[in-house]
Amino acid sequence: MRQNIIDYGIGLILVVWLAGCAINDPVAVSKKRQITDGIANKRWKALRVEEAGVLVYQEGKTDNLFPGYRNYELQFTGSRIKLTEFTKETFEGDWSISQQGSRVYLVLQNLTPIPTETQGELEYEVYQFDDSQMTLVATKTNRKTGNTINTYTLVPQ
């Protein structure tokens, strides 16, 4: 009887430990860490921008629909972020990387001044990332661009 209780206890501990391993999938953790380490203390500028799937800016083109995106920049310094919009407006705050399942998100929070209709927070899904380029897809519409979901392909400066 006593041995059965010990065996049950060991089995329960093993199940709990294995469940914890599944939550902290090493591939997912390393992807989050790769993105965090890859963007930290760098400035990223717009290479390509799409508004609702329509290409509106491509670096180097002379016939861009919105050439102001040449101003678009994310500057990461420690845990701080400075966002420069295509309008040249700047917003400063904090940044973090979060994860929900296999999806990874860049979250800009406590932004000042507060961007219109955002409550001081912007969120982007990190659709693609490597050290030379990343693609961010906004998770909410942007009022300044006609309530479109925008996709930003950025490169380090």
- Amino acid identity of residue 27, one-letter, is V
Question: What SS3 state is found at 8?
Answer: helix
Contact 132, 155 (CB under 8 A): yes
Strands 150-156 and 133-138: antiparallel
Alpha carbon 99 to chain centroid, angstroms: 9
Q: Please provide the average confidence, as pLDDT, over all residues in the chain.
A: 88
At residue 117, does pLDDT exceed 60?
yes
**Token couple for 24:** 């902290």
Q: State the CB neighbour count (10 A cutoff) for residue 127.
A: 14
Omega before 26 within 30 of 0, i.e. cis: no
pLDDT at 15 over 70: no
Confidence of residue 27 (pLDDT cuts 50, 70, 90): low
Predicted local distance difference test score (pLDDT) of residue 18: 47
- Is 14 a residue whose pLDDT tops 50? no
pLDDT at residue 22 in the model: 45
pLDDT tens for 63-99 read 999 999 999 999 999 999 999 999 999 999 999 999 9
Q: Give the mean pLDDT of 43-72.
A: 98
Q: Each residue of 118-155: pLDDT tens digit?
A: 999 999 999 999 999 999 999 999 988 889 999 999 99
The CATH number fitting domain 26-156, selected from 2.40.128.280, 3.90.1170.20, 3.40.50.1220, 1.10.275.10: 2.40.128.280
Question: How far apart, in whole angstroms, are the C-alpha atoms of residue 124 and residue 70?
Answer: 19
